[in-house]
Amino acid sequence: MQNYEYKVVPAPKRGLKGKGIKGTDARFANAMMTVMNELGAEGWEYQRSDTLPCEERTGLRGRSTTFQNMLVFRREVLVEAEDIKAAPAEPLIQTHAPLLNGTKDQPQSTAPALGPALDHTTAETVEVKDPRTDGAPQ
């Protein structure tokens, strides 16, 4: 399975001067080429450019929407097979009750003590016994 990380950078707003480069469009292309080559040297692959809305504050209470030009790059994240096999899968749901009396291998649980409960059929208080501690209430 391939994993990617992404990097989004603002597109240049002005052209970049260079030797033999004349005109606004050529300077802007030079600025884009410079950004793309710098990130490409770091292993980033150009994906696309996006124009996205951005809400900005104007004055004390006003807001206005502007549009920002962004360049999207990605590169593959290398995950070694040993890392995948070494990492144990963690269960999403705990399927066993924690120990109330800890052992030297497992710490003592922080489960709350059980107290009296209300029997809804007779509206009387009933003492609930914890089956994990030989039936003695906590």
**CA atoms of 114 and 138, how far apart (whole Å):** 6
State residue 79's pLDDT score.
76
Q: Is the pLDDT of residue 35 over 70?
A: yes
State residue 96's pLDDT score.
47
Cα-Cα-Cα-Cα dihedral sign, residues 29, 32, 38, 42: negative
Q: What is the pLDDT confidence band of residue 129, given thresholds at 50, 70 and 90?
A: low
- Confidence (pTM): 0.54
**CA atoms of 87 and 103, how far apart (whole Å):** 25
Domain ranges for the chain: 3-82
What mean pLDDT is predicted for residues 78-89?
62
Task: Give residues with Cβ within 8 angstroms of 12, minimum separation 6.
Answer: 28, 31, 32, 35
Percent of the chain with pLDDT over 70: 57
Gyration radius of the chain over CA positions: 31
Q: Is the pLDDT of residue 51 over 80?
A: yes
